[in-house]
A = this chain, B = another copy of it.
């Protein structure tokens, strides 16, 4: 895509101010007509204004140039398709049907912090606001693990799992992106200002909403599609059966990106939504950052290290020695002949095996019979 024209930029800025984020009629019309043409029609054509009820009247009150000036003072830039840092992944939103009345790619993004095209590949981590300590710890650990591997953690800045994910990435000097449902001059949720500042240092804070805008439920719903569209996949760490995180999960599925769920105690209602996603096959189960990357990385980008249980004493035995050991009864003693029969081996090789096992401290000869030692019973 070539560098966008100034007219295109102004048109998209105006549309961004005029439309509610993710208004599917607005994004569909822009897609069909182009931003400049849509704006021209909104200005001149009563018919278009009818289709887009709210946009018409709003058009007369917005002041794009002054808003841009205000944003610049705040260190916030407006980025549109065609700009080098525009995330191409957002185009997938064009083909996806709306969810909860929101959809389509944004007209532009308000961004504070690093250039998005200079950050690594990213994965979204989302979940309950009312997270448990377990959920928050797990989100932070997974975020730290993927951040340490050079991946960017995308989340929504909310209390609970979102903030734990951002913090987990920051704690290992990793990069994270906060995607908000309000203007970047506003601090929501209350008290999140210092966290957003920290995120913007090496990462970025992003919103579809211009400075001054307050969050609302539909804006959260619109925002969720951006989180899903910015990550290669989405990890849901805790979500009750009606959690807002499930909207982000649905968007991830709609965009055909990997949806991953972290399990928790079945007694925790905060894990119920995640378990249900896994149970019905909508999400794959993951338990670590390693497994997250295995699911979202392209072939060769990341290799899962084989999960290994700690080595046991048994592992150092020969097959024959194991056969003999496994035939020694538990809790009683047995003769060499009994053990040979149970093992299906001859007397001589059984006796040799028992001698070796005695040397290894796994069996002992006592009261005219062989017994397992406590070492053997410990595995």
**If A134-B265, A344-B54 touch, does A218 touch B291 (CB 8 Å cutoff)?**
no
List of B residues within 8 angstroms of A291 by Cβ: 279
How long is the Cα–Cα vector from A328 to B218 in the complex, in angstroms?
Answer: 9
In the assembled complex, the CB of A76 is this many whole angstroms from the nearest CB of chain B, namely 19
Residue of A214, A266, A271 with most chain B CB atoms under a 10 A cut-off: A266
**If A263-B264, A327-B218, A342-B54 touch, does A272 touch B285 (CB 8 Å cutoff)?**
no
Tell me if B341 and A57 are in contact (CB < 8 A): yes
State which of A119-127, A171-179, A329-337 sits at the interface with chain B. A329-337
In the assembled complex, the CB of A159 is this many whole angstroms from the nearest CB of chain B, namely 13
Tell me if B285 and A331 are in contact (CB < 8 A): no
* Total contacting residues, chain A, CB less than 8 A: 61
How long is the Cα–Cα vector from A285 to B282 in the complex, in angstroms?
Answer: 12
Chain A residues within CB distance 8 Å of chain B: 20, 23, 53-54, 57-58, 101, 134, 137-138, 188, 190, 213-218, 221, 240-242, 262-267, 271-272, 275-276, 278-279, 284-288, 291, 307-309, 312, 323, 325-332, 334, 340-346
List of B residues within 8 angstroms of A330 by Cβ: 188, 214-217
List of B residues within 8 angstroms of A213 by Cβ: 329
Considering the complex, give the chain B residue whose CB is closest to the CB of A181: B330
Considering the complex, give the chain B residue whose CB is closest to the CB of A132: B265
**If A216-B330, A344-B53 touch, does A279 touch B287 (CB 8 Å cutoff)?**
yes
